[in-house]
Amino acid sequence: MSEPRIPLELSEAAMATFLALADFLIPASPPMPVFSAVGRREAVEQNLLFRPDIREAFFRGLAKASGKPPEPALEELSTGDGEAFSAIGLIAVATYYMTPSIRALIGYPGQESVTYDADAIPPYLLNGMLEPVMARGKRYRSTPR
Amino acid sequence: MTTETSVKTSPRSKRGEEVDVAIIGAGPAGAVAALHLARAGFSVAVLEQGDWPDYNAYAGARPEWELVSQKYWHPNPNVRDRQGDYPIDNSDTAVNPLMFAGVGGSATLYGAQWMHLLPSDFRVRSLDGVADDWPYTYEDLLPYQLRIEKEVGISGLAGDPAYPPRPAYPLPPTPIGSVGMRGIQGMNELGWHWWPGSNAIPPEKYGNLNPCVRRGTCLTGCPEAAKSTTDRSHWPEAVKNGVNLMTNTRAKRIETDERGRATGVLYVDRNGRERVQKAKTVILCANGVGTPRLLLLSESGRAPGGLANSSGLVGKRLMMHPFASVLASFEDPLDSWRGPFGQQIYSLEFYETDASRGFLRGSKWNCMPSGGPLGVSGVVGSKVYVAEEGRFQDLWGDALHQNVRKRFGHSLIWGIVCEDLPEESNYVTLSSDLVDSDGIPAPKIVYKVSENSRRLLEFNIDRCVESVRAAGAIEWLLSYPVRESGWHLLGTCVMGEKAESSVVDQWGRCHDVPNLYIMDGSTFPTSGAVNPTATVMAVALRNTERLIQERRSQETPL
């Protein structure tokens, strides 16, 4: 018996199933929009390319959920096929929070590069924050002789 | 009877040619040994099962960072499943060992938190009546620690009253940011110790290292080349000095002659062919899991329980520093995706033994940022703060938005490293059924968190909650022991004076095999409660210089 084939692309039907599940997992919560308002097909496909290791579980989960209302479908996956549930959830949440408009809403510039003056005197040396630590003095146990 | 090691002017060895020294593992310890041996004129071959790092592959500066890191840069080799990794049988352990195979070793994924052991760590038996003393003292090792700091490029602030006085660090401390400042607030409120973090992260250009730009992705590989790992600090010069660094090369066993001397290393090359690297001396630097695995794999008629194992202690006394974590959220923004990550501050308030607490030994705390939105959402990754038995609706839907709103950009993490005492019931052995991609038996970990460690963890969790409450936290999530936290793999080939109660002497030389050395953290008699890379490298330097000094009396195969 041959292995079930992993779809090469996200069909219309599979995308519709995914959107229904993702919208249940990530609903609107003002000012945050529902997943389908920002979750583009190209982004979902790109993220599946980033993680080929979960592709099979992702499509297996969609096949199991096809034609079912989202909450019982997700309940069934969560209790019966955790790997598929995790794959669908990861692609949904990653796609959502990688979307520039969502990042803007939560104030996330990404893992940005920040310049600073390495020679500047740190604030804790200027504002007295370190003084109580110094004032308590030695804390270590010396090497016994 | 001894024979003299011939010292060459370190020409690069050819395949099949005997070298003065073969080193297994290109991590921090192997790098120190290789560089200093090559400088002293030894011919050196290094076998490394991983590859050189590809800095373009580190995703820290790209939007998909969180999506890809939890697979390709996960510290658990069973999750990562790269070609160079070997699998680990974790079916009987409470804590999973973490590591990375490649030039630079597991430090590729470390937080670069740079700490010395304290004086009491070398005298646990004398001071606390348990475990063992080290064969040498804090003061003996300090000169090597200070030299390693310059080789690696350490940033920090001298003057911490939790340590004996010491000279200035090579570099000033990295910024501590809003996360560190909020951590300080709680500690000062309670009158507890803290100190600006010391890290192998330069705030300015240092040798082959670029200045840290606070990208905050240290634990998944630094795309800025601003976290010190030996692929930048040591290996380029080692190779320039003639070291033959062979990557994608997996050691399978250490070969011995009829006298029991090491003669070289049987390895599998990148094409799957078995070859032998002959050597007058062999040094193991394969970490506290990989080193005992290789010794156990090298059993023979002369060494039926594993090479260098007449004591029966190879693989025993595994210490992994049970780890606790507190994620605390605050009303005001802390920009908590911003690095370094790295420790922004640390605390040794509860480091030294106070028997009235109901346990011996202590802990080190490190205050860190909490990362991106996926990490704090609780719905992906290792789910550190989430009960596995929970319903999915508890984390998704409106709960997801609420959790991200509350935690993302507004939280810090206190990591709590607890000292693990050595116990022979915690050990590394060979798996009966799991093998790596070359068919070599995988290591199996048998490990339980001891009663002393459990009490230590619970005490520190309670104190840490007091600290974040004092700092104004509105929510705190606790995890202990964190299953995916076995970064520090120590103690499995203990050093000591007597052959019946230790595997190596104080110079890392195996009691049973005088031309076989171990120079990684597996030789530590006790673990302390600090991040061990500084001590691993300092001990490797001390041992290597002794080997160089004693080369004329070094026993070698005939």
The count of C-alpha atoms lying within 13 angstroms of the C-alpha of B442, restricted to the half-sphere facing its C-beta, is 17
* Local structure of B548: helix, strand or coil: helix
Which residue from A minimizes the CA distance to B204? A118
Q: Is residue A121 classed exposed, middle or buried when 0-12, 13-18 and 19+ CB atoms within 10 A define those classes?
A: exposed
Q: Which residue of A has its CA nearest to B117?
A: A140
Contacts of B392 in chain A (CB under 8 A): 74-75, 78, 85, 89
Distance from CA of A93 to the nearest CA of B (A): 7
Please calculate the CA angle B112-A47-A107 and round it to the nearest 5 degrees.
Answer: 60
Answer yes or no: CATH 3.50.50.60 is held by domain B19-52+67-91+99-371+409-553.
yes
**Chains A, B: CB contacts under 8 A, how many?**
159
Q: How far apart are CA B394 and CA A82, in angstroms?
A: 15
Within 198-237 of B, beta carbons closer than 8 Å to A belong to 203-204, 211, 213-217, 224
**Contact state of A123 with B181 under an 8 Å Cβ cutoff:** yes
Residue B357 main-chain phi, psi, to 5 deg: -80, -10
Q: What is the DSSP letter of B334?
A: -
Nearest to B176 by CA among B199, B207, B158: B199
CB contact under 8 A, A27 and B397: yes
Tell me whether residues A139 and B162 touch, CB distance under 8 A.
Answer: yes
Q: Does ipTM come in above 0.85?
A: yes
Token pair of B358, please? 């109901």
pLDDT of B379 reads: 81
Q: Does A89 have pLDDT greater than 50?
A: yes
Query: B111 is written with which tokens?
Result: 């937080």
pLDDT at B408: 97
For chain A, what are the domain ranges? Answer: 12-106
Choose among B193, B397, B408: nearest Cβ to A106: B408
Residues of chain B where predicted confidence (pLDDT) is lower than 70: 1-15, 381-389
DSSP per-residue codes, B188-211: HHHT---EEPPBS--SS-BTTBPP
Query: Of B305, B291, B297, whose CA–CA distance to B519 is shortest?
Result: B291
Q: Cβ–Cβ of A140/B163 closer than 8 Å?
A: yes
Of A24, A27, A111, the CB nearest to B60: A111
pLDDT in the model for residue B83:
86
Using an 8 Å CB-CB cutoff, list chain A residues near B379. 89, 93
Q: What does the pLDDT read at residue B387?
A: 62
Taking 3-state DSSP, the helix, strand and coil percentages for chain B, each rounded to the nearest 5, stand at 30, 20, 50
Strand partners, A21: none
Quick one: tokens of B425?
Answer: 């019931």
* pLDDT on residue B555: 83
Global pTM value: 0.96
The confidence score (pLDDT) of residue B8 equals 43
Instruction: Report chain A's C-alpha Rg in angstroms.
Output: 24
Q: What is the pLDDT of residue B16?
A: 72
* Residues forming a β-bridge with B444: B89, B429
Nearest CB to A132; choose among B188, B398, B401: B188
Residues with Cβ < 8 Å from B240, sequence gap 6 or more?
Answer: none
**What is the distance in angstroms between the Cα of A94 and the nearest Cα belonging to chain B?**
6
CA dist B433 and B442 (Å) reads 8
The confidence score (pLDDT) of residue B6 equals 39
pLDDT recorded at residue B221: 96
Chain A residue with minimal CA distance to B137?
Answer: A143
At A4, is the pLDDT very low, low, confident or very high (cuts 50, 70, 90)?
A: low
Residue B9 has a pLDDT of: 44
pLDDT in tens, A37-62: 999 999 999 999 999 999 999 999 99
Of B68, B203, B352, the CB nearest to A50: B68
Predicted pLDDT at B5:
39
Nearest residue on chain B to A141, judged by CA atoms?
A: B120
Q: Which of residues 143 through 172 in chain B touch A, CB cutoff 8 A?
A: 157, 159, 161-164, 172
Distance from CA of A11 to the nearest CA of B (A): 23
Half-sphere exposure of B120 (CA within 13 A, CB side): 22
- Give yes or no for a contact between B256 and B307, defined as CB atoms under 8 angstroms apart: yes
Residues B203 and A97: beta-carbon distance below 8 Å:
no
Mean pLDDT of chain B: 95
DSSP state of B4: P
